[in-house]
Structure 1
């Protein structure tokens, strides 16, 4: 089984044309420049508007630079991502074997196929590493809450979204994991802040982001632009954004949808008591669908959480997992294959965006519906059944 999985991963990251690979790995030049700046200037790139990541990302991007002394940065970065990919696959395989149920065997396959369907962009960005921290936190949460908390804290310091892994937890697991995450996070934050100025400059740049053309909310405006114009596409903050009528209103609407969605998830946690991984998947999908910014590599977040969902025999999300994989495939068509059409807002680009974002909306809505339909219990208490993971010490 391992050989077959590795063959699929290898195919997904090596079979594309060289020019497509260049597009998928274009950000590595920027990563290398940031790493050099951090190493030599002892400061984060606080004057670069493209720096929109928590300070942990700076520490991560420096690792390949330090290992190679500034040489072979791209290949060392690929090796780092490959190690994270292999680590996730190993965790999922061990968990599936420990469970022993046939349904759990889908977990490693969801991850493997999802990465292959997303394509080389998974190796040309660091989001796969962030997904690895969230997957580890979910798998360890019940039996190793301290380790899970550290993994979650690491993910939050790379990109904020792994905080969703605590959403569905209850009782002592929630408190112990949260305490470990808070302690590890505070220590790491202090160290990263002391590393140099600009550690938190990303907050300013992130808050100024507009409506990226790849976001779900931008799709109706792109369709309207094809019919009667009125909108332009501008390059800002390292991405293509829409400018024109109602764009600011739509962007503010994304924030409102995120807040309302968060309230819905909180009510779901309180009233429905779904499995933690199911709620985490719904939260990730909602975050992607409601975001003003939706880069293709973000879909690996959903792929990772979906793989953990597939391990749980109680999951309600199995039909949603298929939609996640379909969305991943559509994302690879959108980037890099048709991105030249997407970036200019031409017809083929808008069509592929409409398909990808339609699939994402479908997956998000279906995920929430299944949470309520298949989990609702009048009782306010429900047992917390952990995912079985080999080598996890019992500490419940």
Structure 2
């Protein structure tokens, strides 16, 4: 298939699948689809929109747990005043989805790259049915994807986009984990800090209670969809007396040993952070795909060790998996397919059979075991493959390092690197 036909096919599949997602959203109340997912937009997001429109963040709302940049996303439907809030939100979400698709397709058309990443995003996102259109995680993922894809051209742009994404939800800072050591890292993190300051200061000065979200994070418990929640759900079948309660915007377990499980999750997150630092300090080989692979591995590790795994987290994972597959050098190809397999299972968990998950029935527990088992396997496999890809394989460390950061090396350095690479071929 020629490049032109591949792009036309990609566009046709995008239009067909997004039309189906829109149809599902319009029929959100169908019993076969499970619970309504659009309610969060027209009820909760719109409520926040009204509060933010009066110049303040919802300080006393325990459901508001997001950095100030999220306020800009919640307010963005106001740019389309001729539409209802839900309609405008969906239009902006679809536009963000299209940006991700175009960015992945452009990256895939470069020499040595692949359109497989764009194909994964276009084909796998609809496995979440209409959920991506009723959450603002597509917008966040778009910024994270653009940040990673910009790295080969500009570490400054990479850092800036990562900061913008992190001001909406914190996780996109993980995209900077794999930036090559030395000058590229300093440049990316410096521009991330500068961008965050330039955006954050006006928000803090323009809105009351801009940092109120910090108070809400400490009280989070163990969500029923997390790895710890899976353990507690199974424990109910052997006599554990815990209950499920709606709090902090999620269904969470309450009862004996819940705080212990929460502390174990936090400890595992700390271990994951330590492993990433160890990899970064000891890695000796960098390729053009290393930043992509490290970002996906970091996100998987922090996801599976978290006290909360919401269904929209799959959008993040699909986005970073797609970025990995744009490079033929990636070590994460089998990891990406594990994430794809976990996606429809996640849809069965929420919203299709969520009542079973809440009740910890054997069906609900089985679904959680499969979904979280796949994610845990993906996280372990991802880090192992990332670790091995950073080991020396007989090639010059210097030449491997230079190939990872062409955007910040001087012309003389680039020519020297090319000469060195030629000698090893």
**Is the pair's TM-score, using the shorter chain for normalization, greater than 0.5?**
yes
Q: For 1:112-123, what aligned pairs fall within 5 Å after superposition?
A: 112-123=122-133
Select which of 110, 113, 117 maps to 1:98: 110
Structure 2 Cα separation of the partners of residues 374 and 166 of structure 1: 18
1:383 is aligned to 2:398: no
RMSD between aligned alpha carbons?
2.0
Contact 2:311/2:347 (8 A) holds in 1: yes
Select which of 222, 225, 232 maps to 1:214: 225
1:78 is aligned to 2:90: yes
1:268 is aligned to 2:268: no
Unaligned runs of 5+ in 1: 389-393
Residue in 1 aligned with 2:39?
26
TM-score, normalised via structure 1 length: 0.92
1:326 is aligned to 2:341: yes
Question: For the structure 1 residues 32 and 83, does the alpha-carbon distance in structure 2 shift closer, same or farther, using more than 3 Å as the test?
Answer: same
Structure 1 Cα separation of the partners of residues 360 and 170 of structure 2: 29
Structure 2 Cα separation of the partners of residues 259 and 210 of structure 1: 17
Q: For 1:294-313, what aligned pairs fall within 5 Å after superposition?
A: 294-313=309-328
1:204 is aligned to 2:215: yes
Select which of 271, 294, 304 maps to 1:289: 304
Residue in 2 aligned with 1:178?
189
CA deviation map 1:322-347 (0-9, x unaligned): 10101111111111101122223222
Structure 1 Cα separation of the partners of residues 24 and 340 of structure 2: 19
Deviation at 1:21, TM superposition (A): 8.3
Residue in 1 aligned with 2:15?
6
1:279 is aligned to 2:294: yes
Q: For 1:162-173, what aligned pairs fall within 5 Å after superposition?
A: 162-170=172-180, 171-173=182-184
Contact 1:118/1:329 (8 A) holds in 2: yes
- 6-15 or 320-329, larger mean C-alpha shift: 6-15
Structure 2 Cα separation of the partners of residues 165 and 136 of structure 1: 10
Contact 2:345/2:370 (8 A) holds in 1: yes
Structure 1 Cα separation of the partners of residues 79 and 14 of structure 2: 31
Structure 1 Cα separation of the partners of residues 343 and 385 of structure 2: 21
Q: What secondary structure sits across from 2:349 in the alignment?
A: helix
Contact 1:36/1:65 (8 A) holds in 2: no
Residue in 1 aligned with 2:164?
154
Quick check: which has more Rg, 1 or 2? 2
Question: For the structure 1 residues 384 and 255, does the alpha-carbon distance in structure 2 shift closer, same or farther, using more than 3 Å as the test?
Answer: farther
Residue in 1 aligned with 2:50?
36
Structure 1 Cα separation of the partners of residues 100 and 84 of structure 2: 25
Deviation at 1:173, TM superposition (A): 2.0
Deviation at 1:22, TM superposition (A): 6.5
Deviation at 1:146, TM superposition (A): 2.0
Question: For the structure 1 residues 384 and 327, does the alpha-carbon distance in structure 2 shift closer, same or farther, using more than 3 Å as the test?
Answer: farther
Q: What secondary structure sits across from 2:115 in the alignment?
A: helix
Select which of 138, 143, 152 maps to 1:133: 143
Deviation at 1:87, TM superposition (A): 0.3
Structure 1 Cα separation of the partners of residues 91 and 188 of structure 2: 30
Residue in 2 aligned with 1:316?
331
Deviation at 1:353, TM superposition (A): 1.3
Structure 1 Cα separation of the partners of residues 72 and 45 of structure 2: 11
CA deviation map 1:270-318 (0-9, x unaligned): 2234511111110000111011011000111111111110011111111
1:193 is aligned to 2:207: no
Contact 2:292/2:323 (8 A) holds in 1: yes
1:56 is aligned to 2:66: no
Structure 1 Cα separation of the partners of residues 38 and 16 of structure 2: 21
Deviation at 1:108, TM superposition (A): 0.3
TM-score, normalised via structure 2 length: 0.86
